[in-house]
Structure 1
Amino acid sequence: MGTEGENVRVIAGRYRLEERIGRGGMGVVWRAADQLLGRQVAVKELVLDPSLSAEEARLQRERTLREARAVAQLAHPHIVVVHDVVEDEERPYIVMELIDGGSLAERIAGRGPVDAREAARIGIDLLGALRRAHGAGVLHRDLKPANVLMEAGTDRVVLTDFGIAQVAGATTLTESGAFVGSPEYTAPERMSGERTGPESDLWSLGALLCAALSGESPFRRDSLGGILHAVVVDDIRPPAQAQPILPVVRGLLERDPERRLDAAEAERLLREFLETGRTPQVPVAYTPTQRDVPRRALPSPPWEAPETATPPVAVPSRPARHSARGALVTAALVAAMAGAGVSAAALLMRDGGNGGGTPTSPGPPHTSVSPSPPSASGSSPAPTVTVTRSPSSASAVARKVPSGYRLTHDPDGFSLAVPDGFTRSPGGERIFYLSPGETFRIGVRMSDPEAGGPLAVMRRSDAEGPSNNPGYRDGRVTETSHGGNPAALWEFSWDGFTAAEGPRHTYDLCWQEGDRMYDVWVSAPVGRMREAKPYFDVAVGTFVRG
């Protein structure tokens, strides 16, 4: 039983609570004395929901103690040591090592943001902690600067405050709509209640790195509704200070958890930055090792069909994800707003019924900049483009337009299918179809034939790549054919035209048909090539001149 003194309280007959040193959503943290071993400790007094019935409170205490004991089994230099888990007067307490020093949040508030090298160091230490926890089946669920301690004198990074009192199912929204965790650092899949796994903690780390570098999360807004909208819908714009480690930040802040950078690769890239001082590059053929995302699962390009066939374009699953996510996002936001007292009607008016705006400016001019999808083995195949099609059969093409796309008849004299929501933007001799926010760019160029044909054109573009595309790398040109016509496939990566844009990958097919030469490409962020691949396949497979 707890005993009361004039200013102190002793719990479990052993731990004397001396001074309150912190408070959070899960409870109060005390500086305490372990009277048995004669040492200073930190004791977290967990607060139970007063609205619970006696049975519900008992179940929550049992779950809390069980999860606390699981954390106590984690031994890692960057995870706070849990010494004991006790119950006193039907209230659970967690006894931990006492870290002399404030939190990362306090450091940022008092001394300002950290530089890129310090952020990388912090990120590496936290990734080590998360890998240890995830390997033991423990999720943190509330990773944010306030839950990262910086030990005075050593600057040791210590992850604390695992989501011990998380509701059953480890989702972000409770049955009553109350929010558990910190929305600015919560992954979009947790917002929607879709899933929770190690990837969700990695998203939180990406937001934490942005906050460490700039002073605030990139998802900070004036209201809960604004935060939820920013996390799930709005374009993600890492701060300029993140440029030195931008590939890591972008990879961690990938909305699709299956494409999110995993802990091992993120740590490797951060260590590369610390060792070289240069911005690390995500390999083009990078495949997360935590999840089974085989390259062979990519849809087969329509040009790989036999020459005698006129195959339908495979319906890709990714392009339709945007509209489906919009519906899911709206449901999640409405649920959250209901818990926060915001009307669903107001939310829908704010969102406008869709997930993004319409771009009004053309994409920057560039030499055949196009997005490129990787092959099953991580390298580009040498396909023989053999789709046959009557150039005038626009109606046949229309019948093959996949769900989530629309057939557009361009005023410059060609037709092709583009994803819903893409808008046309002329760029001189090039025509662009741009996604909201210009994240994905489909490009088309028509020209007179040149000496040497498509292969010579693509080889010249490859040679000029460093001059036209900042950070040009991994360029390769493959001779092929398209519809029985000579063609060449060009694939490359580059750094993007601005720091905010980040590394991109391009996939470009050029072919000669009669007295004209055609060039169709797609450009996309390096980390989103799997999403861009179907855009390229469909654009090439449905293109018709005239």
Structure 2
Amino acid sequence: METLPYEPRHAGTGPAGRLVAGRYRLGALLGRGGMGSVWLADDELLGRPVALKRADEPGRTLDEARAAASVVHRGTVRILDLVRDGGEPWIVMEALSGRTLADVLREDGPLAVERVRRVGLSLLDALEAVHRAGIVHRDVKPGNVQLCAEGRVVLIDFGIACSWAYGPRPPAEGFEGSPAYVSPEQLRGAPPEPASDLFTLGATLYAAVEGRSPFDRGDLFATMLAVTEATPAPFRLAGPLRPVIEGLLAADPARRCTLGQAREALVAADVTAVRRPMPETCARRMIKA
């Protein structure tokens, strides 16, 4: 989702007032992405706000709901139910406060280095839980990172996630995901793997601290070429975060920073604490890349 997913911004857009599954009253349209649309809604049975997602490809809704529901972690969106209304499946999710990272960057500009460091650590924790559940998210990007008002950082939208618990998903006929936030191996058609999420995390952290995508060249072909060659735009603002971001953006997954190495490097980049050198393993991977 590229727009704010769980906070009213587009009141009056979409089927506002519709009652879904005899229980959920739709309100504002909160976000529309390549895989579906999300509305704010009132759970009239329990008297609470929720978010409802209707997928553009209903046949994939169960896979998405299962993938997201299998991860129990405060850093991932919580799935409450999967309901049908007139044969149409809807995913019921928790309603989140705040804005997406994409919205924050568009409206306020790049984040401070220390905040990006903390966001990175939160996303690493979330991805660790995702990968432990046998899932590759495949779509880590600013539009899928929710910065909640209470400080919680949440990874959302499992629309193209790959869950090996239910068998590998057959390859899509067309490209899935955002070209500026995809790993080189995914562009080459390789099977999804956890290292791919780490590359897209690196691209997301670059965008958070620099205020722009590292690979977006304004042209689809040029953007995909930049991703394939893993040649990010020049760093200007990253400061102590540059080594770990470069380590995550290694073109070869075998030379890319692992989740543990990235976490250690982000901890070492704490400018408020006694400075420690970046882990040698991560630095070596970055140099070899």
Give me the TM-score of the superposition, normalised by structure 1: 0.47
Cα displacement string for residues 36-90 of structure 1 (whole angstroms, at most 9, x for unaligned residues): 2110001111112xxxxxxxxxxx62x4303412321322111111111123233
Alpha-carbon distance in 2 for matches of 1:9, 1:135: 38
Alpha-carbon distance in 1 for matches of 2:98, 2:260: 28
Q: Tell whether 2:250 aligns with 1:250.
A: no
Q: 1:238 to 1:130 in 2, by over 3 A?
A: farther
The answer to whether the Cα contact below 8 Å between 1:210 and 1:238 also exists between their aligned partners in 2 is: no
Cα displacement string for residues 257-285 of structure 1 (whole angstroms, at most 9, x for unaligned residues): 111111111112112222636474131xx
The answer to whether the Cα contact below 8 Å between 2:215 and 2:233 also exists between their aligned partners in 1 is: no
Residue in structure 1 matched with residue 19 of structure 2 by the alignment: 10
Residue in structure 1 matched with residue 223 of structure 2 by the alignment: 227
- Compare the two structures and name the one with the higher helix fraction: 2
Q: 1:156 to 1:529 in 2, by over 3 A?
A: closer
Residue in structure 2 matched with residue 124 of structure 1 by the alignment: 121
Alpha-carbon distance in 2 for matches of 1:280, 1:170: 41
**Range moving further from structure 2, 133-142 or 90-99:** 90-99
Cα displacement string for residues 222-280 of structure 1 (whole angstroms, at most 9, x for unaligned residues): 21101110001263345221231122101100111111111111112112222636474
1:45 to 28, 50, 54: 54
Q: Secondary structure at the match of 1:258?
A: helix
Alpha-carbon distance in 2 for matches of 1:165, 1:199: 14
Alpha-carbon distance in 2 for matches of 1:165, 1:127: 17
1:174 to 167, 172, 175: 172
Alpha-carbon distance in 2 for matches of 1:277, 1:42: 42
Alpha-carbon distance in 1 for matches of 2:189, 2:269: 35
Residue in structure 2 matched with residue 209 of structure 1 by the alignment: 205
The answer to whether the Cα contact below 8 Å between 2:67 and 2:161 also exists between their aligned partners in 1 is: no
2:85 to 85, 88, 92: 88
For 1:144, give the aligned amino acid. Answer: K
Residue in structure 1 matched with residue 10 of structure 2 by the alignment: none
1:109 to 82, 106, 109: 106
Cα displacement string for residues 93-123 of structure 1 (whole angstroms, at most 9, x for unaligned residues): 1111111211111111111101111100000
Paired residues in the alignment total: 271
Q: 1:238 to 1:156 in 2, by over 3 A?
A: farther
For 2:95, give the aligned amino acid. Answer: L
Q: Secondary structure at the match of 2:99?
A: coil
Identity of aligned residues (%): 43
Structure 1, unaligned stretches of length 5 or more? Answer: 1-5, 49-59, 288-502, 504-525, 532-546
Q: Secondary structure at the match of 1:40?
A: strand
Q: 1:282 to 1:161 in 2, by over 3 A?
A: same
Residue in structure 1 matched with residue 32 of structure 2 by the alignment: 23
Residue in structure 1 matched with residue 236 of structure 2 by the alignment: 240
Give me the TM-score of the superposition, normalised by structure 2: 0.86
Higher relative contact order (CA 8 A, sep 6+): 2
Q: 1:282 to 1:47 in 2, by over 3 A?
A: same
The runs of at least 4 aligned residues of structure 1 exceeding 4 Å deviation read 164-171, 528-531
Q: Which has the larger radius of gyration?
A: 1
The answer to whether the Cα contact below 8 Å between 1:251 and 1:527 also exists between their aligned partners in 2 is: yes
Structure 2, unaligned stretches of length 5 or more? Answer: 1-14
Q: Secondary structure at the match of 2:50?
A: strand
Q: 1:197 to 1:282 in 2, by over 3 A?
A: same
The answer to whether the Cα contact below 8 Å between 2:243 and 2:286 also exists between their aligned partners in 1 is: no
Alpha-carbon distance in 2 for matches of 1:271, 1:257: 22
Residue in structure 2 matched with residue 397 of structure 1 by the alignment: none
> Within 5 Å, which residues of 2 pair with 1:319-468?
none
- Compare the two structures and name the one with the higher strand fraction: 1
